[in-house]
Amino acid sequence: MTVRVDLIDGGTVVEIRARGQATRREAGWATERARELCQRRAVTAILADCSEAERQTTPQLSAEIIENFLFAIERPVAAAYVVPRVWDDAYHAAVRSEIGDLPEHARFFTSRDTALDWLVSLQPA
């Protein structure tokens, strides 16, 4: 698994890019790094692009990783999660069912472009 955490859009957006199989340790590292950047910088949004990540062994594990990430940030920052391409509709529905209600500031997307469009639409004019 390769996980990168960078600042984009002039340092206002934390971008997490994941490829391959994610372990809890790697997800935890990415979460901690994103949390640190949100505390130290004027971050207004987070883009978690997991389109190239592999599916976890269970929807429950995927949901746990996503929920832990959202709660760890400690402040309501817009968060766009691009789901892995390998998720079929049944797996996606099972993950959503496990998570229940997403915070108002978080959304799932199937492409990086639509996720970025949503994040841009939230920025003040």
pLDDT of residue 125: 58
Residue 94 above 90 pLDDT? yes
More confident residue, 108 or 2: 108
Nearest residue to 53 via CA among 8, 89, 16, 101: 16
Which token pair is 120? 């841009």
* Gap between the terminal Cα atoms of the chain: 38
Q: What is the DSSP string of 20-66?
A: EPPPHHHHHHHHHHHHHHHHHS---EEEEEEEEEPPPSSHHHHHHHH
pLDDT digits (tens, 9 = 90+) for 17-65: 999 987 888 988 999 999 999 988 789 999 999 999 999 999 999 999 9
Tens of pLDDT along 74-92?
A: 788 999 999 999 999 999 9
Q: Is the pLDDT of residue 123 over 80?
A: no
- Please tell me the pTM assigned to this model: 0.90
Question: For position 87, what pLDDT does the model report?
Answer: 95
Residue 124, pLDDT > 80, answer: no
Q: pLDDT digit string (tens) for 2-11?
A: 889 999 988 8
